[in-house]
Amino acid sequence: MSESSTEEAGVSCGCKVGRIGSRYDLDGLDDELVRYWTDRTDERYSTRDLAEHVNQRVLQAALDDAGLQYKDGEIENTYRLLTGEDVSSGTRVQTRKELERDSVPVDEIEGDFVSHQTVYNHLTNCLEASLDSPSDEERLERSRDKLGALRNRTAAVTEDTVAQLDRNDVLDVGEFDVLVNVTVTCKDCRQQYTIRDLLEQGGCEC
């Protein structure tokens, strides 16, 4: 049987991301990078988030190589202690010492950490990935969600406010419902629309 290299991560190119992908055996890294970067939801990763993800996988692989056990969240935390801007130099030195004591080659690992620019180049040059702009339908969908959430929040705050005034006898009202209606008026023809209808029909009729 011939050796299969297709499933190996990071052998697609010779850039730094490709090299560390091979060296640390980061399975499926390229797929992850493209998927997280082009995700059409709010969960989408920036290239900074992606660089952090790559570096944490490098750190994890190095801890695995050293045979260390780690708890949930420990990789993220160790990475933060090594690189975070808000971490004191004393804490950083301490973290490095502990890792070295556990036979983790800290210098080497830090040298293998990648920047967001390197990840961006890998994505666009080596993997030929690109960020498509969202379709009109996706934009409408997102706007609908955003405005819907805003309406719900307005309704909730209104309800709380009225209920509180009622409890304090500042206001007198029976059981009540709150309905939030947002209307948009076209200044060309004075036609009014609820925002829902306007989005639904894709514009004014004038």
What minimum distance in Å lies between the beta carbon of 192 and Zn ion? 10
> CA 122 to CA 198: how far, in whole Å?
42
Sign of CA dihedral 162, 164, 170, 174: positive
Looking at this protein, which amino acid is placed at residue 177?
D
In terms of CB distance, is 55 or 95 closer to Zn ion?
55
Q: What token pair was written down for 110?
A: 């830090």
Q: Are 123 and 37 in contact (CB under 8 A)?
A: yes
Q: Which of 103, 30, 32 is nearest to 64 (CA)?
A: 103
In terms of CB distance, is 106 or 126 closer to Zn ion?
126
What minimum distance in Å lies between the beta carbon of 27 and Zn ion? 16
What minimum distance in Å lies between the beta carbon of 165 and Zn ion? 39
In terms of CB distance, is 9 or 59 closer to Zn ion?
9
Looking at this protein, which amino acid is placed at residue 97?
K
In terms of CB distance, is 126 or 155 closer to Zn ion?
126
What minimum distance in Å lies between the beta carbon of 205 and Zn ion? 6
Residues lying near Zn ion in the complex (CB under 5 A): 13, 15, 17-18, 122, 126, 186, 188-189, 191, 204, 206
